[in-house]
Amino acid sequence: MLSRVAERLYWTARYLERVSSTATLITSYENLLYDLPKNVELSWYNLIIINDQEQEFNELYSSRSERNVIKYLIGDRDNGSSIMHSLHFIRENVRTARDVIPEKAWELICELSIYAQDNLDQGIKRRSRLEFLENIVKGCSQINGLIQSTMPRDAGWEFMLIGCNLERADMTSRYLEAGLAAILQVKDENTINSQQIIWGSVLRSLDATQYYLRATKTPVKGQAVLPYLLRDSCFPKSITYCVGSIIQSCQKLPEPELALEKLKKVESKLAKKIDYEDLGDALLEKLNKLQIMLTSIHFIISESWFIADH
């Protein structure tokens, strides 16, 4: 498999995951805002902070209004992570890797891009937003399902898995960080209630509520949500699971030694003991470091297989 094609597949999977997670995030955040007590101040702008996009956003918009944030996340072509932009990149990447992507997936991708383009206004209006986002998520699931059921399990498939898992790990760590930051921000008397609402929202953003409850048999609280999303060995969006999957994929690729050595280091750092009882600034700092470590995985993969200087 060409290095360039491998890279395109990896990014296709990442962007696909990004589109559906951004759509899910907006949906669950909307819910969160309706649930929080009126005296709790939480703004849409937090979604910009979660994605580390403050600077880009502020260059484009002066007001941090709901409409601007939504526009930025869904429709903005200048935002590299917006739904429209990601869809565009999926299409461009697949266009240049069409020889390895299932033929029908290409058609579904075109369909989804056309839908998003034709209905962008519906996505920005509050009244029709949820339906729009739901359709986007459905479109992504359809594409993923098709790829899952038709693509041969060769190197191309592993690169897609790596892209998907890395994007998931990245998102999960961002949401955990955002959840914790929000908890530290919310200083009302009703803290326990807010805790439940905020961590509940984090779980919802990752479609994790159902399995969290089954696995932990614990009501929603930070002390249990954090370890579940960080460490659970079965939940497909937990960071441990994602990193483990990436390592498994790499083992199936040619000449993986260098990448594996580095990834194992990440894995062992990840396994270090964390004190979840004290949900404070120290833990926030740890999550921040974790985020940086996850970002480094991209470079590990890239130097082993994408940079084609053999």
Partner 1 sequence: MSSQWDDYPLSEFFDEMLSTPGNARKPSQKLYNYLSKLSPGSVASRKAAAELAVREMGISFTVYTDEGNIDRAWPFDIIPRVIAKKQWDKTEAGLKQRLQALNMFIDDLYNKQNIIKDGIVPEYIIKQSSNYRKECEGMSPAYGAWAHVCGTDLVRDKDGEFYALEDNLRVPSGVSYMLENRSIMKRVLPEVFKKVDIAPIGDYPAELFETLSSLSPRQISKPVIVVLTPGIYNSAYFEHAFLAQKMGVELVQGNDLVVESDDCVYMKTIAGLERVDVIYRRIDDMFLDPDAFIPDSMLGVKGLMRAWRSGNVALANAPGAGVADDKVVYAFVPQIIKYYLDQDPIISNVETFLCYDDKQREYVLNNLDKLVVKPANESGGYGMLIGPHSTKKERDTFTDLIKANPRNYIAQPTLALSTAPTYIGKDNAPEPRHLDLRPFVLQGKKSFVTTGGLTRVALKKGSLVVNSSQGGGSKDTWIVDVSGGTKE
Residues that bind partner 1 (CB under 8 A): 1-6, 91-92, 95-99, 103, 106-107, 109-111, 114, 155, 253-255, 305, 308, 310
- Which tokens in the block code for residue 79? 């935002």
Collect all residues with Cβ–Cβ distance below 8 Å to 123 and sequence separation of at least 6: 70, 74, 75, 83, 116, 129, 132, 133, 136
What is each CA distance from 6 to 86, 91, 101, 301, in whole angstroms? 18, 15, 11, 11
Say what angle helices 3-35 and 126-150 make with each other, to 10 degrees: 140
CA dihedral over 103, 104, 105, 109, signed as positive or negative: positive
What is the smallest separation between the CB atom of 223 and partner 1, expressed in angstroms? 43
Rounded to 5 degrees, what are φ and ψ at 21?
-75, -35
User: By C-beta, is 145 or 219 nearer to partner 1?
Assistant: 145
* Beta carbon nearer to partner 1, 3 or 216: 3
Considering the complex, state which of residue 95 and residue 125 has its C-beta at the smaller distance from partner 1.
Answer: 95
Nearer to partner 1, 61 or 115 (CB): 115
Q: Which is nearer to partner 1, 217 or 310 (CB)?
A: 310
Give the number of other CB atoms < 10 A from CB of residue 123.
24
List C-alpha distances in Å: 97 to 8, 27, 90, 112, 281: 7, 32, 10, 18, 44
Q: How far is the CB of 305 from partner 1 (least distance, A)?
A: 5
Question: Residue 125 Cβ, how far from partner 1 at the closest point, in Å?
Answer: 24
For residue 264, the minimal CB distance to partner 1 (Å) is 20
275 backbone dihedrals φ, ψ, rounded to 5° = -90, 110
Tokens read off for 35: 């649930």
Q: Least CB distance from residue 302 to partner 1, whole Å?
A: 12
Complex with partner 1: residue 3 or 142, whichever CB lies closer: 3
Rounded to 10 degrees, what is the CA torsion of 65, 71, 76, 79? Answer: 50
CB of 83 to partner 1, least distance (A): 19
227 vs 256, beta carbon nearer partner 1: 256
User: By C-beta, is 38 or 153 nearer to partner 1?
Assistant: 153
* H or E segment to which residue 119 belongs: none
C-alpha–C-alpha distance, residues 159 and 54, integer Å: 30
Nearest distance from C-beta of residue 241 to partner 1, angstroms: 24
The minimum distance between CB 159 and partner 1, in angstroms, equals 8
